[in-house]
Amino acid sequence: MTTTRRSLLAFTLAALLPLPALALEETDLSPEQPGRIRAEKVEAAIALLPAGYNWVNPGKLTVASVPGRLPFAVYATDTRTAIGGEPDLAQIVADSLGLELEIVPVAWADWPLGLESGKYDAVIHNVTVTEARKEKFDFSTYRNDLLGFYVAGSSPVTEITERKQIAGLKGAVSSGTNQEEILLRWIEENKAEGLAPTEVSYFDDDVVQDLALESGRIDFYLGPNATSAFKAAKDGRTRLVGVLSGGYPLTAEIAVATRKGAGLADAVTAALNAQIASGIYAEVLGKWGLGDEAISQSRTNPPGLPEK
């Protein structure tokens, strides 16, 4: 494996940051979120806001979020307020721009049309930058998109960072995802080299999948690192043995999405970079166990994943 390919493939386990104590304790699910991290105004970012921009709600940054699973977002105990890592990130962006935050919970399938039609100013919910999406939206990056290989705590498997290490194992992955494409490609490449086959299972229920992993019916699960890491920290029954870029072998990035040509992206990027420099960005990611997906600089409309 070449050095370049290795750097695109894997982040070593030693490089991963530890999960915060919060993930091991009872998560605050109150709608008030008294511990939410806040930021100061960033005048340089405010100066980049387009004159005459028609805000969905004047004086507010209206942001779509998709409550479903931590650490990204779930509904609070009032069953209507979105809380989690993505709403917290939205809060420091709004603070930086001198705006009040308004979160609009939406279904994942609805965010593209809703953003295009002006129902909200931005979408902040684990949206990966792709070349196809860049035709309709502008992006301001804020996380690396990582996938994680997870095994049962008692598993003899200690590392999966390259395809040969899955030979002869049984794994699970979600259908129609980047990780499924990666896993199936690895299996075909292993087969071409005469390596032992890898059996793939699909589960519609996370609880059933977790039981299969913990009981040894499957050896590993490959999925978004953030959600698996948060769960592993809370229950201690699974552990990370390897990570890949979500766009393997290309680097994939998560970003704030705004309407194409609306003029908000540069201001959002400046806001994010100011909070990266201040350390507040790291506090937000660290609070939700996302520190290993941190970036050193936000970029506006970087190269996205190509169409499959």
Reference 253, options 146, 152, 138; nearest CA is 146
How many domains is the chain built from?
2
**Is the same domain home to 129 and 262?**
yes
- Cis geometry, peptide bond prior to residue 249 (ω within 30 degrees of 0): yes
pLDDT of 144-183, one tens digit each? Answer: 999 999 999 999 999 999 999 999 999 999 988 889 989 9
Residue 50 is predicted with a pLDDT of: 97
Residue 259 is predicted with a pLDDT of: 98
**Is the same domain home to 101 and 167?**
no
Report if residue 300 sits inside a domain.
Answer: no
Other C-beta atoms closer than 10 Å to the C-beta of 154 total 9
Report if residue 54 sits inside a domain.
Answer: yes
Percent of the chain with pLDDT over 70: 92
Report if residue 120 sits inside a domain.
Answer: yes
**Is the same domain home to 132 and 91?**
yes
Cα distance between residue 20 and residue 271, in whole Å: 25
Q: What is the distance of C-alpha 222 from the center of its chain?
A: 14
**Is the same domain home to 257 and 141?**
yes
- Contact status, residue 153 vs residue 215, Cβ threshold 8 Å: no
- Residue scoring higher pLDDT (220 or 233): 220
Cα distance between residue 305 and residue 308, in whole Å: 9
Report if residue 12 sits inside a domain.
Answer: yes
* Residue 14 neighbours by CB under 8 Å, 6+ apart: none
* Residue 250 neighbours by CB under 8 Å, 6+ apart: 8, 305, 306
pLDDT of 13-63, one tens digit each? Answer: 333 433 443 443 578 999 999 999 999 999 999 999 999 999 999 999 999
Cα distance between residue 215 and residue 105, in whole Å: 36
Report if residue 23 sits inside a domain.
Answer: no
At residue 257, what is the residue type? A
3-class SS at 81? coil
Report if residue 25 sits inside a domain.
Answer: no
Mean pLDDT of the chain: 90
Average pLDDT over residues 138-144: 97
Residue 292 is predicted with a pLDDT of: 84
Other C-beta atoms closer than 10 Å to the C-beta of 2 total 8
Domain of 151 in residue numbering reads as 3-17+146-245
**Is the same domain home to 218 and 163?**
yes
In whole angstroms, how large is the CA radius of gyration of the chain? 20
**Is the same domain home to 140 and 268?**
yes
Report if residue 71 sits inside a domain.
Answer: yes
Tokens of 154: 């008692």
The answer on pLDDT for 277 being more than 50 is yes
**Is the same domain home to 157 and 231?**
yes
The answer on pLDDT for 3 being more than 50 is no
Cα distance between residue 129 and residue 298, in whole Å: 13
pLDDT of 88-108, one tens digit each? Answer: 999 999 999 999 999 999 999
**Is the same domain home to 184 and 263?**
no
Residue 304 is predicted with a pLDDT of: 93
**Is the same domain home to 286 and 137?**
yes
CATH assignment at residue 178: 3.40.190.10
DSSP class of 168: T
**Is the same domain home to 141 and 156?**
no
Residue 289 is predicted with a pLDDT of: 85
Confidence grade of residue 249 (pLDDT, cut at 50, 70, 90): confident
* Residue 153 neighbours by CB under 8 Å, 6+ apart: 214, 236, 237, 238, 239
**Is the same domain home to 87 and 187?**
no
Report if residue 122 sits inside a domain.
Answer: yes
At residue 54, what is the residue type? N
Phi, psi of 164 (to 5 degrees): -60, -20
* Residue 144 neighbours by CB under 8 Å, 6+ apart: 245, 246, 251, 252, 253, 254, 293, 294, 295
Confidence grade of residue 9 (pLDDT, cut at 50, 70, 90): very low
- Contact status, residue 305 vs residue 131, Cβ threshold 8 Å: yes
- Contact status, residue 60 vs residue 107, Cβ threshold 8 Å: no
Residue 25 is predicted with a pLDDT of: 53
**Is the same domain home to 47 and 165?**
no
The answer on pLDDT for 2 being more than 70 is no
The answer on pLDDT for 119 being more than 70 is yes
